[in-house]
Structure 1
Amino acid sequence: MLKNQKLLEQLTLKEKALLMAGQGEWQTRAIKGKVKSIFLSDGPFGLRKQSGAGDHLGLNGSEPATCFPSSATLANSWDQEVGREVGRALGKEAQRLKVDQVLGPALNVKRNPRGGRSFEYYSEDPYLAGKMAAGMIQGLQENGTIATPKHLAVNSQETRRMASNSVVDERALREIYLTNFEIAVKEGQPKSIMSSYNEINGTYANEAKWLLTDTLRKDWGFAGYVVTDWGGDNDHVSGIKAGSNLAMPGLGVNAAEEVVKAVESGELSEAVLDQRVDELLTVILHAGQKPADDGFSWEKQHAVARDAAKKSLVLLKNQDQVLPLAAGTKVALVGDFAKTPRYQGAGSSLINSHDLESLLDTAKDYPIDLVGYARGCLRQGEIKSDLLEEAKALADKCDVYVANVGLDESAESEGLDRTNLAIPPCQAKLLEELAATGKPVVVVLSGGAAIELPWENKVSAILHEYLGGEAGPSAVWEVLTGKYNPSGRLAESYPLTEADIPFDNEFPEIKRNAYYKESIFVGYRYYETAGVKVKYPFGYGLSYTTFAYSNLTIDDQGVSLDVSNTGKVAGRETVQLYIGKKDSPLIRAKRELKGWTQVDLDAGETKRVAIPFDEYAFRYFDPNLGSWQEEKGRYQIMLGQNVDEILLTGEYDLKRGIVPEVKETSSYQKYREGKLLMVTDRDFEEIYGAKLPENRPAGKRELEWNDPLLEMANAKSWLGRAAAKWLARKIQESLDKSKPDLNFLFNYNMPFRAMTKMLGDTISRSMAEDILLIVNGHFWRGSGRLIRDYFQNNRKEKNDKDVQQ
């Protein structure tokens, strides 16, 4: 019997069908006298509850909220408790604003740092991403708020995000792109999860039964409900059959009628519909049951944001120990960001921050002598000689420059992938000019993902704040002045140049099929295996003190070792466990993160720490057997301060497991040695295990239902081509102002089918098909049908108003 059997028996078929889609932009459907509605809100690192009418694109203003550090920032803390604290604080704000469900955290793997939403994602490593997300989920749900990890799965680019097929081999799929979600689900126990827009090997994620039912529910034990990304419902009935519970935003009664007809025709079993409704009701009926926390205060929320930012700061360089700054140091503060901070990403996560700080405003609270501020250069664009000269003139007054530079808003946004890894040229020029004065330059770097640093050797210190949220500036001053010893470690690799990223010239894929040719070799797994040098390795971060490791012991339970603070000040060390198997016949990375621990030590203190072997330590996915296996034999156990700086090594014999059988082809050998630069489509096809879907050549053609609007550039109709050109121009205009317009970005990447998903009953499927007919060069026929179907849809809307709650 289903959990809510009695309630289900009271619902009509149409009412059950209505529950499978939302009611408006942010609420689930209410059934009068039977089922309440719950409110959902964007909120990976701060709530975005809109003040007026809801719209997913953020055109209307949102309520003031605390802006916490982005997920990419929090990951650098390597501290699950930091995630829990931020989650708890988010839950408090959700209660205050009567939000039942928060759409976050986002935890997709950073396949390429140029991914437009890399600032929202934790790491290039699935183990670290899953563990950090689990902490956030646990904290968020403590007071009854519903967490929604997203986007399941293999969601790696913003270009064509609603009409892209991720072509990925089975091992990479399981080991890289699903392990993060598996850990988050098993340890965090979220009550909801969001499916992604994209296809996975030809099937939309929201319609993949193997993913939503077999893997998510049966294998991982997920007991919540699945919600689509906004507009991500491709085929409503197929989604329900696969395991999807709620299509958002509200699709209107047209979608409900589609479900009713599917049940009546036998296409959809009512028992399956009942199962989906039951899973949804189980969460909705228990939402918001805990009493509100009457201890809310903006000051406490801001303090949580500051603490999280402080523990996530990464010191990348500290030449001649220029940091920490001594009391009374004469500081010249430079940079547009220092006055108008870059503290969050752009898109659906954009927060109306309640208490935004700046480096300039908070400098007075710390023991330095601020001798002046200069903008130095514009956020982006051309170099202004007068601004440069103003900044250089401060050299006569200061002991040190503190320059805040990085990626501006146009570089990182939902709906848009980065064009390169560089900061704007005017900012790089500013750093070079400041360095030429002979005064030490301390760079405070802002941005949500890896950045090229060709100017690194010209500056004395680099403190990376990532996107630190509203309290990031005071956290930065605490580290710069030595009030807090930096403890952050990079959650991603920093390549020497963008050209070092495997298959970077194919990212983002502008055609439908994106080939994940690097397979399991994402981030450090590639750099370490292939022997490619990087600027800063995964797990890297400096401290104001030094640490030593000794006395390693390894047994069946895990590893233990002594960690000593060999410096002069207290500090926190992050001990990282990596495991490799160099004699394996399998395609394997040289080493993989399999655990870590953090230890706080006073100067001269030693503590013994332990890191257990868990269920993920030795497993690999065997495509031939279709299951997780362990390879018996000898493993290399490595303890390090980062993936490249291993301080202790040992070996461990795993006596259980199998001896894998592999067919060693030339393609297989290329992958085993990490020689990705030699890998061809044919090589990847061999690893993929099937013929690769072909991408269509560019040129004018008939556009299809699932083609994004950007493809109108290839439309037969001049109207379509003109519309695509207009959209592209409007996007560029918004980027030139450093204010990415999500409205245009969303529409540019939206397929024709999504018109019916994002606008409820305003545009019926027939009307959207008529628009497609016009775009394909059939103006008069399409226009006539559009007028007819418009009036038919209007009449239908009026007749259906009595069933809308």
Structure 2
Amino acid sequence: MWTLPALPEIGLDSLVMSDGPIGVRGVHWSADDPSIALPSPTALAATWDPELAHQTGQLLAQEARRKGVHVLLAPTVNLQRSPRGGRHFEAYSEDPYLTGEIGSGYVRGVQSGGVGTTVKHFVANDAETDRFTVDNRVPERALRELYLAPFEAIVKQAKPWGIMTAYNAVNGLTMTENAALVNGILRDEWGFDGFNVSDWMAARDTVGAIEGGLDIAMPGPMTVYGPALAEAVRDGHVDESTVDEAVRRVLRLAARVGALDGAEPAVTAPPAPVDGEALAREIAHRSFVLVRNEQGILPLAGTRKVALIGAAARDARVLGGGSATVFPRRVVSPLDGLTAALGEGSVAYARGAEPSEELGVAKAGFELRAVCRDAEGRVLGEAPLADGAIQWFGGGFPDGVTYAELSRVEIKGTFTPRVDGAHRFGTRGLGTLRLTVDGRELFDGEQRMPVDGDPFEAFLGAPTERGTVELKAGAPIEVSLDVTPPKIEGMPIEAVALSLSHAEPRRDADEMIAEAVRIAREAEVAVVLVATTDRVESEGFDRRDLHLPGRQDDLVRAVAAANPRTVVVVNSGSPVELPWREDVAAVLLSWFPGQEGGAALADVLTGAQEPGGRLPTTWGALADAPVTEVTPDAEGRLTYSEGVFIGYRAWDKAGATPSYPFGHGLGYTDWTYESLQVTGEEATVRIRNTGARVGRETVQLYLAPPADGSVERPARALAAFGCVTADAGESVEVRIPLPRRAFEIWDESAAAWAYQKGTYTLEAGRSLADRRLSATIEA
């Protein structure tokens, strides 16, 4: 699933790959070997700091080497074309320049540690709906100026060792066979010399893939290569020299990562060790975006009585769902972090609202193990579980366990409830199942594949509730889910996926909100933490809407009415609608903040750290969003009819005002923009910290094109940016190079970049909507 076979006779070790991008899971989808869990890629992009992205990469290389991993399957640099994209938490931004800069820092950091990257998903894999089959019809100019641009920047600036081609087709040809884009643009035009690996199960045709520039078809061992490729060469359908080129690129990768005898690796002395927990905490507070702060309610200086409200305040949502999943050694929840910062007795907690009535994977209060047995009941192996989910795909089984011998899997252990009442239990997965809780058998039967259903939905979809058991808080009980999983014929990989599911006793929704209102009235400040769930933001599907799930909007309105000093923390990976945003004192976006998110949140709320983030994407109501279509037509085609107008470019063109504009973010100090000068290919911006504390500012430069109307262009686009720190009262200069590409467009008739002469306006400011200074440039 994750490895290439060794060839000892030529000195080639097995090459090991692992999912990222927020951590290094390794080859086992389990808690056996915990991983550092960093904030989501949208959070990293919100720092607007390529150097911090470089440090992130160095840490991940350190983690990869610790786990014996040679190649990290990251970063994701697809653009956030529509706010409905379900996997946008794993991508950086709606802007190609910001994406390219953050991605370049990340790639340089990982590879400085001697570990390869695979920049993905090449290209236009910008939504999840029908992602295996969709044919994205992208105009050539949009393809060049938007969707290819981050890949081009990273290839030229960071020289990645790998690229991953996507499931989708672009303009009629699937990406694993798209020779024009892979061999023509990526390799010949940009000079990419690394390897090309397919997304998992994306390669469909032997001849098409090898001729299209695909070097590695994953996962193995049953792929379109191997014997099928050898036969294609013998039959004369593929030149042996074409295979030689692919082999050479795989050997070059092996040499670079130190897996080929006789070849010196690209990095012989890795960087100094990085403190993973400290860096995770720094990235988090540097990424938090304060979008509203009326009357300076934040930071909470001197506050000693806080009401903390929200399901995710106690049960932290630190990462998005899907292949980005890792298993951290520890997670600091917002409740843990704020209690540690303010002291016991200073924080009153209420759940307030349930984001979902659906059962979740058994987690809080559970201590679980997986026990694997053969057909005679003999134990083959055991492994600890981070939660109630088992996801073993194409290997990754506990030591001593093989798919061929495996007959039964038992998830067993203890559960210590946090509250009294009728706890709900359930299952997810196929096969013969027996669920026992506290000596009670809740289910003993077979769960079959739906006749017309998606097999992956049976493995990974909604759980089935099997029954309730009355339990007492603090009293541990035994739980067991015994499963005989099916061996499904024709599956391309060996897979075992099942879950023990749980939910706390149902409570009346109005009573929960009333409880939250009660503690809010008694507090100096109310902090409400609202969140999405992994059924809202995850790999594999797009979002129907941008609403917060459950009655969280009602909760915020009720708490704000009870306490005007209400701060709302939004725990989501990408935009959600905030209909109450003008009714609360402050709104802080925390993204998916990683394992140290609760500690970082306490740092920011109390003022120990400044919220350093700026929006990498536009936030607004879905009804106002200019680009929303992610579903292909009846022929499987999705037309990018908006051309080069996505994100803030499209909002500008539509004349619509979003909730919060691209680049927006407040800190805990004030800034005056004093001067802007342009000399040659560099802009110099002088700013002054006019506040009372040290602060960090992200100076953003937007370029407005000549008003000749000869070519339709965005009203303005991000040209460059720079970050600077200054003490209270200090004046500092920021020197920012202006890239030539900011003055170019793709000329479709000439099939080339064209430098556009004329009078440009360069604007410096704090966001797209807060531009403070301007200068003209004669190009």
Q: Does TM, normalized by the shorter one, top 0.5?
A: yes
Deviation at 1:111, TM superposition (A): 0.4
- Report the counterpart of residue 676 of structure 2 in structure 1: 552
Distance in structure 2 (CA, Å) of the matches to 1:336 and 1:243: 48
Deviation at 1:124, TM superposition (A): 0.2
Q: Is this contact kept in 2: 1:406–1:447, CA < 8 A?
A: yes
SS at match of 2:36: coil
Q: Is this contact kept in 1: 2:332–2:597, CA < 8 A?
A: yes
Distance in structure 2 (CA, Å) of the matches to 1:111 and 1:254: 32
What CA deviation, in whole Å up to 9, does each residue of 1:377-421 have, x standing for no partner? 112249612222221221343101111112112101110111111
Distance 1:576 1:396, change over 3 A: closer
- Report the counterpart of residue 21 of structure 2 in structure 1: 44
Whether 1:633 aligns to 2:608 is: no
Deviation at 1:429, TM superposition (A): 0.9
**Within 5 A, what are the aligned runs for 1:194-205?**
194-205=164-175
Q: Is this contact kept in 1: 2:129–2:630, CA < 8 A?
A: no
- Report the counterpart of residue 623 of structure 2 in structure 1: 499
Unpaired segments of 5 or more residues in structure 1? 1-24, 52-57, 655-805
- Report the counterpart of residue 666 of structure 2 in structure 1: 542
Distance in structure 2 (CA, Å) of the matches to 1:347 and 1:508: 22
- Report the counterpart of residue 378 of structure 1 in structure 2: 354
Distance in structure 2 (CA, Å) of the matches to 1:534 and 1:373: 33
Distance in structure 1 (CA, Å) of the matches to 2:44 and 2:678: 30
Distance 1:510 1:411, change over 3 A: farther
Distance in structure 2 (CA, Å) of the matches to 1:284 and 1:116: 34
Q: Is this contact kept in 1: 2:530–2:571, CA < 8 A?
A: yes
SS at match of 1:183: helix
- Report the counterpart of residue 284 of structure 2 in structure 1: 309
Distance in structure 1 (CA, Å) of the matches to 2:658 and 2:241: 55
What CA deviation, in whole Å up to 9, does each residue of 1:567-617 have, x standing for no partner? 111111111111121224101000011100111111111112221122322
- Report the counterpart of residue 698 of structure 2 in structure 1: 574
SS at match of 1:250: coil
Deviation at 1:280, TM superposition (A): 1.2
SS at match of 1:483: coil
Whether 1:123 aligns to 2:93 is: yes
Distance in structure 2 (CA, Å) of the matches to 1:394 and 1:464: 23
Whether 1:448 aligns to 2:573 is: yes
Distance 1:280 1:362, change over 3 A: same
Which 10-residue stretch deviates more, 30-39 or 109-118?
30-39
Q: Is this contact kept in 2: 1:634–1:653, CA < 8 A?
A: yes
- Report the counterpart of residue 188 of structure 1 in structure 2: 158
Distance in structure 2 (CA, Å) of the matches to 1:222 and 1:602: 43
Greater relative CO (CA pairs within 8 A, separation 6+): 2
- The residue type paired with residue 33 of structure 1 is E
- The residue type paired with residue 451 of structure 1 is V
Deviation at 1:253, TM superposition (A): 7.4
- Report the counterpart of residue 436 of structure 1 in structure 2: 561
Whether 1:471 aligns to 2:447 is: no
- Report the counterpart of residue 488 of structure 1 in structure 2: 613
Number of matched pairs: 620
- Report the counterpart of residue 105 of structure 2 in structure 1: 135
Q: Out of 471, 492, 513, which is 2:637 matched to?
A: 513
Deviation at 1:256, TM superposition (A): 2.1
Whether 1:114 aligns to 2:84 is: yes
Distance in structure 2 (CA, Å) of the matches to 1:498 and 1:478: 32
- The residue type paired with residue 149 of structure 2 is T
- Report the counterpart of residue 136 of structure 2 in structure 1: 166
**Within 5 A, what are the aligned runs for 1:682-721?**
none
Q: Is this contact kept in 2: 1:333–1:370, CA < 8 A?
A: no
SS at match of 2:126: coil
Deviation at 1:128, TM superposition (A): 0.3
SS at match of 1:28: coil
- The residue type paired with residue 97 of structure 1 is K
Q: Is this contact kept in 2: 1:380–1:427, CA < 8 A?
A: no
- Report the counterpart of residue 343 of structure 1 in structure 2: 318
**Within 5 A, what are the aligned runs for 1:652-663?**
652-654=777-779
Q: Is this contact kept in 2: 1:539–1:641, CA < 8 A?
A: yes
Unpaired segments of 5 or more residues in structure 2? 259-264, 358-506
What CA deviation, in whole Å up to 9, does each residue of 1:412-453 have, x standing for no partner? 111011111110241111111111213411111100111111
**Within 5 A, what are the aligned runs for 1:355-366?**
355-366=330-341
Deviation at 1:115, TM superposition (A): 0.7
- The residue type paired with residue 352 of structure 1 is F
Distance 1:458 1:179, change over 3 A: same
Deviation at 1:294, TM superposition (A): 11
TM-score of the pair, normalised by structure 2: 0.77
Distance 1:406 1:192, change over 3 A: same
Deviation at 1:238, TM superposition (A): 1.3
Q: Is this contact kept in 2: 1:95–1:293, CA < 8 A?
A: no
SS at match of 2:548: coil
Greater helix fraction, Structure 1 or Structure 2: 1
- Report the counterpart of residue 564 of structure 1 in structure 2: 688
Distance 1:402 1:263, change over 3 A: same
Q: Out of 244, 247, 250, which is 2:214 matched to?
A: 244
- Report the counterpart of residue 333 of structure 1 in structure 2: 308
Greater strand fraction, Structure 1 or Structure 2: 2
SS at match of 1:466: coil
- The residue type paired with residue 235 of structure 1 is D
Deviation at 1:68, TM superposition (A): 0.3
- The residue type paired with residue 372 of structure 1 is A
What CA deviation, in whole Å up to 9, does each residue of 1:666-687 have, x standing for no partner? xxxxxxxxxxxxxxxxxxxxxx
Q: Out of 175, 182, 205, which is 1:235 matched to?
A: 205
SS at match of 2:562: coil
Q: Is this contact kept in 2: 1:395–1:439, CA < 8 A?
A: no
- The residue type paired with residue 364 of structure 1 is T
SS at match of 2:9: coil
Q: Is this contact kept in 2: 1:226–1:246, CA < 8 A?
A: yes
Whether 1:529 aligns to 2:656 is: no
- Report the counterpart of residue 213 of structure 1 in structure 2: 183
Q: Is this contact kept in 1: 2:2–2:27, CA < 8 A?
A: no
Distance in structure 2 (CA, Å) of the matches to 1:431 and 1:510: 41
TM-score of the pair, normalised by structure 1: 0.75
Q: Out of 209, 232, 236, which is 1:266 matched to?
A: 236
- The residue type paired with residue 410 of structure 1 is R
Distance in structure 1 (CA, Å) of the matches to 2:595 and 2:200: 27
Q: Is this contact kept in 1: 2:203–2:209, CA < 8 A?
A: yes
Distance in structure 1 (CA, Å) of the matches to 2:273 and 2:300: 35
Deviation at 1:509, TM superposition (A): 5.9
Distance 1:503 1:74, change over 3 A: closer
Distance in structure 2 (CA, Å) of the matches to 1:608 and 1:151: 38
Distance in structure 1 (CA, Å) of the matches to 2:53 and 2:669: 25
- The residue type paired with residue 615 of structure 2 is L
Deviation at 1:483, TM superposition (A): 0.9
SS at match of 1:403: strand
Q: Is this contact kept in 2: 1:443–1:463, CA < 8 A?
A: yes
Distance 1:471 1:510, change over 3 A: farther
- The residue type paired with residue 38 of structure 1 is L
- Report the counterpart of residue 720 of structure 1 in structure 2: none
What CA deviation, in whole Å up to 9, does each residue of 1:727-765 have, x standing for no partner? xxxxxxxxxxxxxxxxxxxxxxxxxxxxxxxxxxxxxxx
Distance in structure 2 (CA, Å) of the matches to 1:108 and 1:481: 35
Question: What RMSD, in angstroms, separates the aligned Cα atoms of the two structures?
Answer: 1.8
